[in-house]
Amino acid sequence: MKSVRVPAYAKVNLCLDVLGRRADGYHELRTIFQTITLHDTLELEANRAGRIDLRIIGNPALAGGPGLDNLVHRALDKLRRELRLRQGVRAVLTKRIPVGGGLGGGSSDAAAALIGLLRLTGKRIEAAHLAEIASGLGADVPFFLHGGRALGIGRGDETYPLPDVPRR
């Protein structure tokens, strides 16, 4: 079976301004995201079982568990439905980034799942629609579709690429 391996890089916020609460309950943000070298690895392989099989290795305590609430599982499920795929996916997530630590570990993994499933299947989707799917998974998931350095506004899901800074 065909398989793909996708790195899921962590991020830091180089600055973060919280401007107040929005009507939708989120906070209005202005931030600069920057990916760093710390990363998880997601391996995807198609299977004929028609379901998502997620296994977490490395440090599973960092991932919050392999259940249906895991962002990788949710991202794969959402994109499989969107693409109307019958085939299942076996996913192995090697965790190094803590979820909930402000480094974007879960969000980065979700973006890697979206990118990986598109590579695995050879399917294409409009960038704006993919960003919309990513935003539905979490506010900073769209940033991880491209990574690098970017200005994040709104909930953090509206991003604009910035020039990279010298490596430190």
Write out the catalytic residue numbers: 11, 140
**Cα angle 68, 70, 75; round to 5:** 90
**Would you say the C-alpha torsion 126, 124, 43, 86 has a positive or negative sign?**
positive
Which residue in 13, 23, 27, 25 sits closest to 154, CA to CA? 27
Helix axes 127-137, 105-121, angle to 10 degrees: 140
CA distance linking residue 34 with residue 73, whole number of Å: 25
Instruction: Please report which helix (H) or strand (E) contains residue 42, including its range.
Output: strand 27-47
Estimate the share of the chain in helix, then strand, then coil, as percent rounded to the nearest 5: 30, 40, 30
